[in-house]
Chains A and B, each alone.
Chain A
């Protein structure tokens, strides 16, 4: 494990290795000679990979839900919820209805019978039109 006692294992990197360069952040560093210092730089490439991994996982979850919608095992509510990275308790909080009802709305059979005003609220939260909610564009 190197020699963490004396030297911070930080390295200055080429920006070309980086995935995310929107904003430089302030980081603290420590080494026994210089003590604590601050530096403003991009997140290091290794950590950027981790951030990307987390987005990749979200994309994969979305793809899985999409397949479920296509085979009629889940409703578009499930798809759009995943698309805006939400989970049931959070969506229920935005909808101001019970988690139990949100879960039911994810069943295709129940989804078909949702009242228009509830559907409109979902569409508003998902930032799409009611038509898009009824029929996501990946359904032919």
Chain B
């Protein structure tokens, strides 16, 4: 059997968040240096939703990020860059053939995958989580070369293993989804309009959606619920639920503190791009401090879960701290809403 070998000259750079990292690396490959925070900010990565009546892995569904593929789709769209997203491919074999054809044409390709069966992934994170992203940039015989921005180094994955993770089932199943930038960026791109569009959309999603479980409203709702958890569910379950919030905020692919740092870094870079726009820089500073408050919250929460019998802070105090964070975040979005460029 002859072995085919195609390896694209693609640079793997580790990142805080899988999708904005993949997006940023794909841009770089196509000749446009765009940092991870920029991809994340323009592509509306920031989000919050709390859906208490939907249980994921036995705890209320909480998300600090937008739906899968939002970052790639919106950043390319807002910047006017031709990209392709194939949402759903029915036949797994066909999905692998499409990927191979892309590699032969020299196109590194993003894939949505589930992490449970992702063999190289850190074992402690291998639960049924389907919103992960990686970029395939080569094939050697039966093995694919993979850039996964959670990992320090590029990885290898066999045909069967890659097929399996691309067709993981359950909530947000990837269904073979793949995406790529069509061709190298051959003209100068003015990022400013894209930044403005990105900020406006995120502001809308965080304070403008008239639904109580999304954005800052959702955060407040969760803060009020936390207070009731010990009584309603008992100490053990309350600690488990709290643990899930902390994991969502600090675990793989958030850059820490629920993406708030990455967004702050985006506002900073955006501010510099608009000739040191004073208010954008202030908003970035506010977001940085909010992120630190989040991290402080996760630390206290973690220690609480550790010493369940004699917690440092009760759930009332934790709830209070979250309400404070919600108020801080709201101030950032209100400031951004009134920005003049």
Contacts and interface: CB of A to CB of B under 8 A. Distances in A.
Interface of A: 1-2, 4-5, 7-10, 19-20, 22-32, 35-36, 38, 40, 43, 46-55, 57, 61, 84-87, 89-90, 93-94
A90 B284 CA distance: 40
Interface string B271-313: 0000000000000110011011101101110110110000000
11 contacts: A9-B296, A23-B151, A26-B255, A46-B306, A50-B247, A53-B243, A54-B240, A84-B116, A85-B127, A85-B128, A87-B57
B239 A53 contact: yes
B124 interface: yes
B291 A30 contact: yes
Given A46-B303, A90-B169, A93-B173, A28 B124 contact: no
The number of chain B residues touching the other chain, given as a range, is 35 or more
Nearest to B56: A87
A48 B169 CA distance: 27
B247 A51 contact: yes
Contacts of A50: 243, 246-247, 250, 302, 305
* For the complex of A and B, 10 pairs with smallest distance between CB atoms: A28-B261, A30-B288, A46-B302, A90-B170, A93-B169, A36-B265, A4-B292, A28-B255, A27-B256, A22-B122
B251 interface: yes
A47 B173 contact: no
B251 A51 contact: yes
Given A47-B251, A47-B302, A54-B243, A35 B288 contact: yes
Contacts of A55: 124
Contact of A35 (B251, B252, B268, B292): B268
Contacts of B285: 32
Nearest to A46: B302
Contacts, number: 139
A43 B257 CA distance: 12
A128 B123 CA distance: 20
B120 to A, nearest CB: 9
Contacts of B95: none
A131 B239 CA distance: 38
Contacts of B37: 36
B27 to A, nearest CB: 18
A27 B122 contact: no
A43 B292 contact: no
B250 A43 contact: yes
A50 to B, nearest CB: 5
